[in-house]
Amino acid sequence: MRLAAFSIARLFLVMLLVGLAASSAHASSAAVYNPKTQQITTLNRTDPLQSPRYESASDVLKRRMLDRKNKVVGSIRDIIINENGNISYIDVDFDRMKLGRPVFVNYASFNVKAASNGYAMAFDAKEIENLYPSLLAEIETAAGKEDTYSLSKMKGLEVWTASGRRIGTVSDVLFGSEGRRAELLYVTLTTGNLRGAGVGIPFGEADYTEVSAKRRVTIADDTAEAVLLVAKEK
């Protein structure tokens, strides 16, 4: 009887240890699961630079400013986007109308819409000429906004992790194919044997911070971990 009781106790102890080991393994697996990995993997299943879903920053900046009659009235010098990738202002030179100095056109206030060959204002050329003094008044407002970013200056920004590790640079900003908003940052890695690999991340995943008077892109550590893993598997 004592032997039987001892055997049962030992069996119970073994089962308990096995259960604890399984629970520990499950907890460990859960701890390393990174939900960002699936998101980054899906975005890069096809190289974003080759995808018809996206338009590069250089192509977006080549667009023209149009009036409501689809007539070209100016050239685009820069696009100012907010932290979510939406267009806040378009820096326009109304050279076709000879209106003088370039101005910032408020995308929402002036009802600008993306068109196949540019960005169209909801006004004809004469109305734009009448609105020009108001557009001049927007220059200081647009230039002073801290939560907006110049598209022309984003290429080449260093990409850092929140914990302070530099992993790459911004090589492109990709807009949706209709040019309405910036959707992805395309990051070229500069670390280890992944140097030169490119990965797209959602525009909103990045913070744009200034360190020692130099602007940089900062991404969360779990996003960086996902980026490096996807780059390894490419």
Residue 8 has pLDDT above 50, yes or no: yes
Tell me if 121 is assigned to some domain: yes
- Are residues 142 and 186 both part of a single domain? no
Task: Please give the tally of structural domains in the chain.
Answer: 2
Note whether 72 and 145 are same-domain residues. yes
Question: Which of 150, 184, 199 is the C-terminal boundary of a domain?
Answer: 150
Query: Do 193 and 209 sit in the same domain of this protein?
Result: yes
Inform me whether the pLDDT recorded for 182 exceeds 90.
yes
Same structural domain, 162 and 79: no
Q: Based on the domain organization, do 65 and 127 belong to the same domain?
A: yes
Mean pLDDT of 191-214: 87
Residues 67 and 127 in one domain: yes
Residues 214 and 162 in one domain: yes
- pLDDT at position 146 is 60
Domain-embedded: residue 46: yes
- Do residues 199 and 120 share a domain? no
> What pLDDT is recorded for position 212?
64
pLDDT in tens, 117-170: 899 999 999 999 999 998 888 776 665 566 788 999 999 999 999 999 999 999
6 pLDDT band, cuts 50/70/90, is: very low
Q: Are residues 140 and 189 in the same domain?
A: no
Q: Given this model, what pLDDT does residue 137 score?
A: 82
pLDDT in tens, 43-89: 999 999 999 999 999 999 999 999 999 999 999 999 999 989 999 99
Q: For residue 12, is it within any domain?
A: no
Residue 19 lies in a domain: no
Q: Are strands 87-93 and 72-82 parallel, antiparallel or unpaired?
A: antiparallel
User: Do 122 and 197 fall into the same domain?
Assistant: no
Task: Please check whether residue 167 is in contact with residue 159, taking contact to mean a CB–CB distance below 8 angstroms.
Answer: yes
Residue 16 clears pLDDT 50, i.e. is over it: no
31: pLDDT strictly greater than 70: no
- pLDDT for the residue 35: 87
Q: Tell which residue, 138, 154, 164, has the closest CA to residue 82.
A: 154
**157: helix, strand or coil:** coil
Model confidence, pTM: 0.80
| E runs forming strands in the chain | 54-56, 64-66, 72-82, 87-93, 103-106, 113-115, 118-120, 148-150, 158-161, 166-176, 182-189, 198-202, 206-211, 214-219
Quickly tell me which residue has 């009448």 as its tokens: 130
Domain-embedded: residue 66? yes
Q: Where among 150, 172, 188 does a domain terminate?
A: 150
Q: Assign residue 76 the CATH number of its domain.
A: 2.30.30.240
Q: How confident is the model over 84-103, as a mean pLDDT?
A: 93
Give the list of residues 6+ apart from residue 196 with CB closer than 8 angstroms, or none. Answer: 188, 189
Average pLDDT, the chain: 85
Which pLDDT score, from 0 to 100, does residue 213 have?
A: 64
Residue 134 belongs to a domain: yes
Helix (H, G, I), strand (E, B) or coil at 47: coil
Residue 168 is predicted with a pLDDT of 97
Domain extent, residue 88, equals 57-150
Give 197's pLDDT tier (boundaries 50, 70, 90): very high
Residue 185 domain flag: yes
Task: Please indicate, yes or no, whether residues 108 and 174 belong to a single structural domain of this protein.
Answer: no
Calculate what percentage of the chain has a pLDDT beyond 70.
82
Q: Are residues 79 and 91 in the same domain?
A: yes
Do the domain assignments include residue 11? no
Domain boundary among 150, 165, 200: 150
Q: Please give the pLDDT value at position 7.
A: 57
